[in-house]
Amino acid sequence: MSPAGYTGRFAPTPSGSLHFGSIVTALGSYLQARKQKGKWLIRMEDIDEPRTRPGTDKIILKQLECLGLLWDGEIVYQSQRTPLYRSAFEYLNSLGLIFRCTCTRKEIANRPYPGTCRHGVADVTTGYSMRIKTNDDDIACDDVLQGKFVQSIASEVGDFIIKRADGLFAYHLAVTVDDAEQGINEIVRGADLLDSTPRQIYLQTLLGYNLPGYLHLPVAINNDGNKISKRSHAAAIDHDNPSQVIFEALDFLGHAPPYEAMNADIESLLDWAVKNWDLNTLPKQTQIKINHGSQNDAI
């Protein structure tokens, strides 16, 4: 891959403001793109309408601007891309791989999905989701940081949903189509999504897409061992001190700048970060506990 051809992305869900965990992902993907003189795109993953909060996309974009994380091109919204997902869905259906499923979440609470509806359902008058058939082949992801991750989707996950019972296309289909259509050739995101990657590689292969590279960064967790997230009511970033936010995110990613850089302007700090970005310096853990100060004072 030539540096000029690099295209990365940051794809937040507009369900709340950015917090320390999402800033780590945004910064890592930004620096990986800028180090290779590539493009860095923003995609709003608002396909899950019940989770989306109106106006949050504007808040997120303002936060990124405040942190100096400026993107290339126009913002893409999943909610405006339904025809693309429908086309991919119909192609997969033409392969005979999609089936209706009337199972409730309670009935199939544990993985893998046991294939209950794979050979047909007696009653389709009630709500149903659409699943895609999987097979026993091992699917491998050669992650730049986490190493080789191998999964047999059929035995570890089972046939998975690509269209929900409420009629919305599922995350795995939408993100697979989006990454291919936008020309994303390396996906930088949190290690909590590593388990999802084989399902997306499976869909990429079926749809004839080029396979991107992957870099799954460590996820920030709190003292209870839970991911710092919107669901755990993580604090939003401190707009009054963007350099400190970036400084602590860099430190989390193993790229501690000189201490005096905390008081530098944001452009100078990011310039230092791009020049010093080194994959060999990234911590290889999938989770890193952050201390009280990082969680509350700097975000």
In b/e form, how buried is each residue of 133-147, taking b as 16+ CB within 10 angstroms? bbeeeebebebebbe
For 267, counting Cβ atoms within 10 Å of its Cβ (0-12 exposed, 13-18 middle, 19+ buried), the class is: exposed
pLDDT attached to residue 108 = 79
Please state at what angle helix 266-276 crosses helix 20-35, rounded to 10 degrees: 60
**For the chain, domain boundaries:** 3-79+175-290, 82-174
Nearest-angstrom CA–CA distance, 92 and 32:
33
In the block, residue with structure tokens 């994303």: 184
pLDDT attached to residue 124 = 67
pLDDT attached to residue 294 = 44
Checking phi first, is residue 88 left (phi over 0); if not, alpha (psi -120 to 50) or beta? alpha
In b/e form, how buried is each residue of 39-69, taking b as 16+ CB within 10 angstroms? bbbbbbbbbbeeebeeebbeebbebbebbbb
Structure token pair of residue 204 = 């990429």
pLDDT attached to residue 231 = 52
pLDDT attached to residue 292 = 42
Equal fold, 3-79+175-290 vs 82-174: yes
pLDDT tens by residue, the chain, 299 residues:
444 599 999 999 999 899 899 999 999 999 999 999 999 999 999 998 888 889 999 999 999 999 999 999 999 999 999 999 999 999 999 999 999 999 888 777 777 999 999 988 766 667 899 999 999 999 999 999 999 999 999 999 999 999 999 999 999 999 999 999 999 999 999 999 999 999 999 999 999 999 999 999 999 988 776 677 655 445 556 567 899 999 999 999 999 888 877 778 999 999 999 999 999 999 999 999 886 444 433 33
Q: Which residues are CB-contacts of 209 (< 8 A; sequence separation ≥ 6)? A: 176, 179, 180
pLDDT attached to residue 297 = 35
Contact 270, 68 (CB under 8 A): yes
Structure token pair of residue 146 = 């986490």
What architecture does CATH give domain 3-79+175-290? Answer: 3-Layer(aba) Sandwich (3.40)
pLDDT digits (tens, 9 = 90+) for 27-56: 999 999 999 999 999 999 999 888 888 999
82-174 — its CATH code? Answer: 3.40.50.620
Element (H, E) at 180: helix 171-181
pLDDT digits (tens, 9 = 90+) for 218-258: 999 887 766 776 554 455 565 678 999 999 999 999 998 88
**Sign of the torsion angle spanned by Cα atoms 45, 48, 50, 51:** negative
The overall average pLDDT reported for the chain is 89
Q: Which residues are CB-contacts of 65 (< 8 A; sequence separation ≥ 6)? A: none
The pTM of this model reads 0.90
Could you please report the per-residue DSSP string of 126-161? S--EEEE---S-EEEEEETTTEEEEEEHHHHT-SEE
Nearest-angstrom CA–CA distance, 243 and 39:
23
pLDDT attached to residue 3 = 43
User: By C-alpha distance, which of 22, 10, 16 is closest to 220?
Assistant: 22
Q: What percent of the chain has pLDDT over 70?
A: 90
Nearest-angstrom CA–CA distance, 256 and 247:
7
User: By C-alpha distance, which of 119, 39, 104 is closest to 71?
Assistant: 39
Structure token pair of residue 160 = 């998975």
Nearest-angstrom CA–CA distance, 66 and 57:
14
In the block, residue with structure tokens 């936060």: 63
